[in-house]
């Protein structure tokens, strides 16, 4: 195609006469542009204009692709005709191209002789502008982010998109202070936001992302009656010397994402709870009984409570113990709300006993919160299949047992019949530790520690009352080992121990005796300092302390009810919290407990519980 023919295909010269086109054609010189070479560079004055004949050109600004051209079109002519007007975009050949080059001075000469050229260029520019505006509007509409440009005073400039009006609720938005829109009614936060934002404009030598990270990345804002979660992204705008002159802020509505996340979390929590219930249903029923007991203890205390007076110490100690169990159990079943409410009551009660009148006055509210959390816990029972509830709450007889019992009863042999009955409800003792691996994982994550469980011994079946009684209190042994026994990873590394602690359980069921040992390889307990701190504690029965020392069993101090409670209230090491409850249960079962420890290395609880004579029904309450 000749130069004059090419010009005929150029839309802006469609009304030029042949003579006018030939005038331009004589200055046109055909050039081959290999793929990858730049024809014009953004920001530089053009020495020539180009008309693309064949091939494909990529139009770029600041590295962003603005478009691709593959039709006959003219480039660089404005920069040629207007002095001090650099080229507005870079043109790079995407494929090998053929183009005509028109030197700037020739173009200027022709422009003087053909005034029509100016009109043509004007039309071309207005067309380009129209298309660019349309495209910009489309991009703003399609982007999930609304954009607003913020000046150095953190005020919205005249540049903001429609989405921002919708999200921030002000129309027009110009002049509004963004920190105040993000922190309505919180002048301190807004001021702090503004001061960090101001630092963006001064070069402190840190990456800008360091400063942006300190600005609110998300905000919950109500606009036009709609509450939204908004996520903010910061994009600095630089001048030619790479100084920040303003900041573009992309605002995205993430309400739906956050809602789904919250719902997902709640659902995962519910699933986790359900899983735990099916895994260890007996333990779940223990939890339900605990909720009831704590409820009635709270109610009793509330009835005797007058104003801001502290509650009765004995009553409080009992409630404290049950709360500790409730905390452990609700944690086991991933019931965060219940655990939190129990913790709050525990804290308030502790402060109240210590003489804090405000805490005493606040007890009723804490009790009420615990009660409603407990009620929610009870509802979980509804999630279990009713026939399963019946089986879990009742006794399951396998057909062979039923047959044996029928035969024994027919023969009048009630001893055999009751033996069958007892055997039918016997429980696998190792089941007591079934939840421990997941509990260890959860508690370790909370405490920033690492530990694993190792279970040894023959195991075996134990009568249900013994199982249920132990199930309620063994959680204290685990909590103690994890919370107070095992050190955190850094401390363990420093002490040249393996970073991961080991909790080992040894369980043997003999013909008439259950023997149980729970040990950890943590920091252990120094009995002499335990005794020393007990001596300084007026709340403790010093005669019992003396007796324990005289008997050569100083560790008994750890099992004294006052020791743990007082220790916790005064902020001393809490080693022994809840162990009194464990010791009490073992004693009720007619068993024995002892503690052995090597300071810095290990702590071991040993229990022996007789199995031959199960606790008589209706005896010492429901164990």
Partner 1 sequence: MFPQTTLFLLVDDMEPLRRVVRAMLKNLGYTNVVEASSGQLAAQVLEKTFLIGRPVDVILSDWQMPGMTGIEFLELVRTTEQFAHLPFIMITAEGQREQILAAIQAGVSSYLMKPISPAVLEDKLKAVWLKMQQTGVAPGVGTGGASASAPAPAPTPVAT
Binding region for partner 1 (CB under 8 A): 35-36, 38, 41-43, 58, 60-63, 65, 90, 92, 94, 195-196, 199, 203-207, 209-211, 214, 242, 489-490, 493-494
Comparing CA positions, the residue from 350, 418, 380 lying closest to residue 574 is 350
Query: CA-CA-CA-CA torsion for 329, 332, 335, 341, nearest 10 degrees?
Result: 40
Q: Which is nearer to partner 1, 90 or 273 (CB)?
A: 90
Q: How far is CA 341 from the centre of its chain?
A: 20
Structure tokens at 385: 């299949």
Q: How far is the CB of 96 from partner 1 (least distance, A)?
A: 12
Q: How many helices (H) and strands (E) in the chain?
A: 25, 20
DSSP letter assigned to residue 261: H
Q: Which is nearer to partner 1, 239 or 512 (CB)?
A: 239
Whole-number Å distance between alpha carbons of 51 and 72: 7
Q: How far is the CB of 65 from partner 1 (least distance, A)?
A: 7
Q: Which is nearer to partner 1, 199 or 461 (CB)?
A: 199
Q: How far is the CB of 247 from partner 1 (least distance, A)?
A: 17
Q: Which is nearer to partner 1, 34 or 144 (CB)?
A: 34
DSSP secondary structure, 358-414, as one string: HHHHTHHHHHHHHHHHHHHHHHGGGGS-HHHHHHHHS----HHHHHHHHHHHHTT-H
Q: Which is nearer to partner 1, 40 or 581 (CB)?
A: 40
Q: Which is nearer to partner 1, 522 or 562 (CB)?
A: 522
- Say if residues 123 and 12 touch (Cβ distance below 8 Å): yes
Q: Which is nearer to partner 1, 494 or 612 (CB)?
A: 494
Length of the chain (residues): 623
Residue 498 host element (H or E): none
Q: How far is the CB of 521 from partner 1 (least distance, A)?
A: 18
Q: How far is the CB of 239 from partner 1 (least distance, A)?
A: 11
Q: Where are any strands of DSSP class E within 435-556?
A: 451-459, 461-462, 501-509, 513-520
Whole-number Å distance between alpha carbons of 459 and 102: 96
Comparing CA positions, the residue from 380, 345, 350, 376 lying closest to residue 363 is 345
Q: How far is the CB of 251 from partner 1 (least distance, A)?
A: 22
- Say if residues 136 and 147 touch (Cβ distance below 8 Å): no
Q: How far is the CB of 95 from partner 1 (least distance, A)?
A: 10
Q: How far is the CB of 131 from partner 1 (least distance, A)?
A: 21
Q: Which is nearer to partner 1, 92 or 559 (CB)?
A: 92
Structure tokens at 302: 């509330």
């Amino acid at each position: 195609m000749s130069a004059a023919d090419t010009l005929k295909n150029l839309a802006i010269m469609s009304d030029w006469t042949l003579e006018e086109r030939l005038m331009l054609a004589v200055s046109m010189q055909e050039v081959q542009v290999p793929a990858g070479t730049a024809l014009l560079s953004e920001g530089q004055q053009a020495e020539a204009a180009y008309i693309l004949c064949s091939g494909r050109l990529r139009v770029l600004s600041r590295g962003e692709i603005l478009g691709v051209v593959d039709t006959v079109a003219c480039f660089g002519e404005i920069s040629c005709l207007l002095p001090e007007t650099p080229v507005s975009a870079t043109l790079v050949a995407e494929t090998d191209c053929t183009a005509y080059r028109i030197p700037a001075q020739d173009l200027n000469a022709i422009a003087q002789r053909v005034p029509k050229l100016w009109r043509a260029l004007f039309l071309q520019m207005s067309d380009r502008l129209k298309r660019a505006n349309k495209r910009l509007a489309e991009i703003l509409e399609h982007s999930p982010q609304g954009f607003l440009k913020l000046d150095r005073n953190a005020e919205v400039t005249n540049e903001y998109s429609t989405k921002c009006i919708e999200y921030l609720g002000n129309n027009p938005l110009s002049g509004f202070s963004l920190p105040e829109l993000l922190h309505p009614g919180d002048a301190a936060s807004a001021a702090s936001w503004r001061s960090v934002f101001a630092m963006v404009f001064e070069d402190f030598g840190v990456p800008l992302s360091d400063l942006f990270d300190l600005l609110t990345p998300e905000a919950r804002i109500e606009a036009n009656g709609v509450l939204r979660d908004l996520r903010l992204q910061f994009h600095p705008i630089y001048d030619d010397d790479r100084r920040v002159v303003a900041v573009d802020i992309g605002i995205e509505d993430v309400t739906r994402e956050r809602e789904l996340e919250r719902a997902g979390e709640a659902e995962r929590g519910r699933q986790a709870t359900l899983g735990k219930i099916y895994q260890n249903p007996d333990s779940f029923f223990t939890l339900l009984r605990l909720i009831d007991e704590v409820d009635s203890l709270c109610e009793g205390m509330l009835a005797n409570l007058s104003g801001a007076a502290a509650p009765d110490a004995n009553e409080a100690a009992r409630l404290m113990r049950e709360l500790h169990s409730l905390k452990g159990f609700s944690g086991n079943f991933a019931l965060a709300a219940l655990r939190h409410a129990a913790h709050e009551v525990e804290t308030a009660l502790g402060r109240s006993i210590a003489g804090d009148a405000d805490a005493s006055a606040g007890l009723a509210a804490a009790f009420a919160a615990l009660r409603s959390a407990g009620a929610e816990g009870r509802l979980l029972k509804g999630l279990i299949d009713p026939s399963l509830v019946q089986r879990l709450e009742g006794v399951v007889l396998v057909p062979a047992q039923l047959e044996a019992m029928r035969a024994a009863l027919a023969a009048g042999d009630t001893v055999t019949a009751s033996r069958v009955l007892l055997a039918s409800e016997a429980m696998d003792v190792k089941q007591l530790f079934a939840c421990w691996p997941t509990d260890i994982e959860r508690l370790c994550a909370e405490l920033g520690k690492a530990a694993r469980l190792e279970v040894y011994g023959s195991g075996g079946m134990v009568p249900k009352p013994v199982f249920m009684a132990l199930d309620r209190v063994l959680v204290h042994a685990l909590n103690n080992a994890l919370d107070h026994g095992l050190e955190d990873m850094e401390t363990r590394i420093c002490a040249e121990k393996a970073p991961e602690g080991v909790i080992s359980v040894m369980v043997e069921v003999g013909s008439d005796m259950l023997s149980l040992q729970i040990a950890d390889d943590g920091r252990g307990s120094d009995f002499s300092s335990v005794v020393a701190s007990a001596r300084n504690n007026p709340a403790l029965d010093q005669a019992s302390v003396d007796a324990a020392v005289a008997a050569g069993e100083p560790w008994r101090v750890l099992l004294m009810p006052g020791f743990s409670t007082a220790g916790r209230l005064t902020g001393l090491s809490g080693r022994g919290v809840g162990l009194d409850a464990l010791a009490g249960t073992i004693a009720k079962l007619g068993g024995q407990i002892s503690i052995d420890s090597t300071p810095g290395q290990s702590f071991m609880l040993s229990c022996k519980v007789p199995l031959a004579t199960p606790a008589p029904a209706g005896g010492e309450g429901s164990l």
